[in-house]
Chains A and B, each alone.
Chain A
């Protein structure tokens, strides 16, 4: 059984259909890059997976449990349990500005009592070291660069031990010279076999780090393939046009 199964997902904002019959599976250890033009529904699709948006049809099944089955959502308590298996990294970081880096990492596990205080602070140290920010533990987000903020946001998501990590355009709000440090952390996670779904405009990342590339346009999945085949031999005309525009 796949770690995540999505079938016939539908979502409209009023008259506008943003998702039409989205179906895909995510296996454990997959790194999936979701690409496509703006307004293609990539972000809405990703946000639906962790219940930041409610869909109008279809099913999402995570690790065997249905978040939504044929348009019927699970009970609120179950939704919490299911979405807790996922972590999310946002385009605009969404760090808590009134808390230090360390408190940003600790706050959720300590409030939810997922681990002992000792274990939490030990893991804070480990994870901060992993994202290369041990020296910033006591800084406030306002004093960090964009790349540092996004690395803290990734660290904060990791503190919850997610089985799947979702990234919503993690480098789009960054200056070009700062994207590298964030992509590096994501590449390290991929090498440690973290399961990731990454909505991105970084073709280099999609090509080198992802093992599946999904191309969305107009609320549909137009083409999905391994990166080698996807980039060298795209099948659909829309994919070809998009790649021509986005790869120099």
Chain B
């Protein structure tokens, strides 16, 4: 039993740690980046707005797995600059997830902004608030509230998408489960992996439910 624990569960928990770490890094960077993209897409500076729209279109319009392959294996093969683009696998994976998820979060925030009544901007204007004060004190908190359910959904997807790292040989949860399946010729590790994913998504769901209650404004 102790043996089994040591050879199977421990490596899988080690893999789960990798998954959680990647999730935290990706979400902490891609949410603010997504918000900046939303602002850029709405900007009156045309090239900035075109860049943001194109970026969102490309990132949402191509498979995440393809993007991960390009970052991990494609970039180092580029002529001349390729040799400077060899990233360690984990960094490359983080980069891939951040760039991809920022595009999805940008769309979520855009929806949140659309939900805010024009009267909110007008009220802020007649009270003399600056554009910056209006954005940070009036618009962003309301946008965040509207975006929460979609953010929650997207975060759960992110947890599960980390399994794509299996394809670029980052030693995450699924990698260790598959190794154990091959070695011991049993499917139990799959179920253990499923259970670990479920625990992670449960924690995430509980966290977001709490946030939704906290930001109910009633």
- Using CB atoms and an 8 Å cutoff, list the residues of chain A in contact with chain B: 50-52, 80, 83-84, 86-88, 90, 92, 94-99, 107-108, 111-112, 140-143, 156-157, 160
Contacts and interface: CB of A to CB of B under 8 A. Distances in A.
A138 B128 CA distance: 24
A142 B119 contact: no
Nearest to B140: A98
Interface in B121-162: 122-123, 125-129, 133, 137-138, 141-142, 145
Contacts of A97: 142, 217
Contact of A84 (B120, B122, B128, B145): B128
A7 to B, nearest CB: 23
A63 B129 CA distance: 22
Contacts of A92: 117, 119
A80 B123 contact: no
B129 A108 contact: yes
Given A52-B122, A111-B133, A98 B217 contact: yes
Identify the interface centre among B117, B123, B127: most chain A CB within 10 Å of its CB: B127
B128 A80 contact: yes
Given A94-B117, A107-B137, A160 B123 contact: no
A108 B218 contact: no
Contacts of B125: 51-52
Nearest to A141: B217
The bracket for how many chain B residues form the interface is 10 to 19
A94 B120 contact: yes
B128 A160 contact: yes
A108 B127 contact: yes
B137 A94 contact: no
A112 B132 CA distance: 12
B142 A98 contact: yes
A160 to B, nearest CB: 6
The 10 closest A-B pairs by CB, nearest first: A94-B119, A94-B123, A108-B127, A88-B126, A98-B141, A140-B217, A142-B218, A98-B217, A84-B128, A111-B133
B128 A98 contact: no
B133 to A, nearest CB: 5
A157 B218 CA distance: 23
Which residue of A84, A90, A98, A140 has the most chain B CB atoms within 10 A of its CB atom?
A98
B122 A94 contact: yes
Given A107-B129, A108-B129, 9 more contacts: A50-B126, A84-B128, A94-B123, A96-B138, A98-B141, A140-B217, A142-B217, A157-B127, A160-B128
B148 to A, nearest CB: 12
A98 B122 CA distance: 16
Given A84-B128, A96-B138, A98-B217, A90 B133 contact: no
